[in-house]
Structure 1
Amino acid sequence: MPVGPGPHLRTPREQAAFAYYDNKRNDALNLGLGEIDGFYHHHFAVGDFNRQVLQLTGEERERSVNAEMHRMETRQVQALVEALRPVSPQERVLDAGSGRGGTAFLLHQEFGCRIDGVNISTYQNQFAREQAVRHACADRVRFHDRNMALTGFPEGSFDYVVTNETTMYVELNETFAEFTRLLKPGGRYVLLTWCINDAVAPHNPESEAIDRHYHCHTHRRSSYLRALLNSRLIPYQIDDLTRSATPYWELRSHSSLATGIEKHYLDGYRNDHVNYMRISARKAIDS
């Protein structure tokens, strides 16, 4: 069962995100993919795909393309696993913006640790709780109707915090300050996100199209680093995964699940206007 207050919707962007995600019809775009292995995602992917699926035809091609997309989405969580290791079963992870629960379940499967997901979408949280029961881990993986920028958890509650493509819905300084408060001294934060490469194109049509489509705000690459440092979260590893993030959009453009946003991601990644980043940071011991 969830603990604490219901979702805090304080800004127009949070209201728009809630309206978009707290909606079974919008979620249905990808829900069918989870039936392959019982994991449901709300993020995209890194890594290449099996090009042979594009040589198939008819229903077999569509089924294979969608299965390959889901495999890639599941594999994407390994980018977090690799950055987090090692995590002991006794430690606690916050999944901020936990969506339908796929990231949290796969992290628990990998490490056996306790995970709390927070999300403003009551519909997605209820769906994730049902999946926790299905996966027999509801005592270790819990989902809360809370705002990731104002969680209500006690100070120093977590050893790790992760965000998997969710920070485009929040103000970075406020949210990272909350993560600093939640982390134990020396605790780590790992994020995966797309961002504007403001060294090349601080204003570009690709990120503007993405923002309109997902009712979000794509932050600049420099804004992430500045906000982390302002919050006493010290980056120790920065990985540009843009090239690895591109094939997913190539494949999705061949799926019936394509929405038209695929071209903007492909153009943004290929011309270096938009980047896909993994940043690992550690809370300063004296903060």
Structure 2
Amino acid sequence: MTTETTSIPTATAKIPAPATPYQEDIARYWNNEARPVNLRLGDVDGLYHHHYGIGAVDHAALGDPAHSEYEKKVVAELHRLESAQAEFLMDHLGPVGPGDTLVDAGCGRGGSMVMAHRRFGCRVEGVTLSTGQADFGNGRARELRIDDHVRSRVCNMLDTPFDKGSVTASWNNESTMYVDLHDLFGEHSRFLKVGGRYVTITGCWNPRYGQPSKWVSQINAHFECNIHSRREYLRAMADNRLVPHTIVDLTPDTLPYWELRATSSLVTGIEEAFIESYRDGSFQYVLIAADRV
């Protein structure tokens, strides 16, 4: 097996079939997804994300809401917060050199992969169930002339083609809610080097609340996913030789992003569920970094 990038377009390469009907549903969902909240934000600087933002809103940069350029500034600010989230994740990947390989499991349209390559100069492999996302990400890599280092491929993140112990660091950025955590962390543990780093940023329901709240249930229905509890993450990591050493509660840091997004023209109807669940403590936004032992 080789992880070298080829010039074969995703559409003409052999695409593995989804392993289950649910995976087929998820592939369909993301193949058809073209929300302005993802595409318009990516148009700001060519980095197309599929995750949320963290950090304080720069209200001075937004200016007067009555100004004709205000909505454009809101879009740029939301995008800045999303890129800040990706940078924060990469801050926790540990030492990475140009000769290393990183894996983005659930890579979306590839914005974080581009950022990782620019930051570390290394090879970045992304996996997604969506042919549309992979084609988009590979197209952007070719446009940026980094397709020799950055590649998206269509495959199951629970059954990747990467060699055992071949990857320096890997991550899931808001993509763990689509899979069984034990299966997922078992696969990361397989392809990570001993001493390699795994990082996830994810929303999880708070066990102290008792059960998933009505808001969490709405989020599950909206995205056709299954949000896990924080406790489940830690248990599944421990069972798969991934030892958490850093846990950061980002809930207070992501709330400003959602409050700003709720005022924009890019609303999707799920904003209230995120805001209320973060406020009542039933839902948390966390970073977990773990080392492979």
Corresponding residue for residue 156 of structure 2: 147
Name which of 159, 170, 180 aligns with 1:161. 170
> What is the deviation of 1:71?
1.1
Q: CA deviation at 1:55?
A: 3.2
Q: Which moved more, 1:227-236 or 1:59-68?
A: 59-68
The structure-2 alpha-carbon separation of the partners of 1:12 and 1:58, relative to structure 1 and needing over 3 Å to count, comes to farther
Return the letter of the residue paired with 1:35.
Answer: D
Count of aligned pairs: 283
Q: Which runs of 5+ in 1 are unaligned?
A: none
Residue 200 of structure 1 deviates from its aligned partner by 2.2
- Using structure 1 for the length normalisation, give the TM-score: 0.94
Q: Which residue of 1 aligns with 2:79?
A: 70
* Matching residue within 274, 283, 287 for 2:292: 283
User: 1:44–1:139: structure 2 CA closer, same or farther, 3 Å change rule?
Assistant: same
Q: Verify the 8 A CA contact 2:206 2:212 in the aligned structure 1.
A: no
Q: Per-residue displacement from partner, 1:97-127 (whole Å, max 9, x unpaired)?
A: 0000001110111111111000010001000
TM-score (norm 2): 0.92
What is the CA-CA distance between 1:95 and the residue it aligns to?
Answer: 0.5
What's the offset of the Cα at 1:5? 5.1
Matches within 5 A, 1:108-187: 108-187=117-196
| Alignment check: 8 A CA contact 1:49 1:247 kept | yes
Partner residue in 2 for 1:103: 112
SS of 1:163's partner is strand
- Aligned-residue offset at 1:90: 1.1
1:30 to 31, 38, 46: 38
Between the aligned partners of 1:13 and 1:77, the Cα distance in structure 2 is 28
- The 3-state SS of whatever aligns with 2:264 is coil
> In the alignment, is residue 262 of structure 1 matched against residue 271 of structure 2?
yes
Partner of 1:49: 57
Equivalences for 1:215-254 in 2 at 5 Å? 215-254=224-263
SS at match of 2:43: helix
Aligned 8 A contact 1:21 1:27 in 2: no
* Residue aligned with 2:69, SS: helix
Alpha-carbon distance in 2 for matches of 1:90, 1:202 = 45
Q: Quick one: distance in 2 between partners of 1:120 and 1:222?
A: 27
Distance 2:63 2:262 in 1: 11
Aligned to 1:15: 24
1:64 to 1:7, Cα distance in 2 relative to 1, 3 A: farther
- Aligned residue for 1:77, secondary structure, equals helix
Q: Which amino acid aligns with 1:217?
A: N
Residues 72-100 of structure 1: CA deviation (Å, up to 9, x unaligned): 11111111121113211111100000000
Distance in 1 (CA, whole Å) between partners of 2:160 and 2:277 is 33
Offset at 1:62?
1.2
| Separation of aligned partners in 1, 2:147 and 2:162 | 19
Percent of pairs with identical residues: 40
Q: What do you get for the CA RMSD once the two structures are aligned?
A: 1.6
Deviation at 1:54, TM superposition (A): 6.6
Cα distance change of structure 1 residues 240 and 29 upon mapping to structure 2, 3 Å threshold: closer
Distance 1:7 1:199 in 2: 40
CA contact (8 A) 1:2 1:142 kept: no
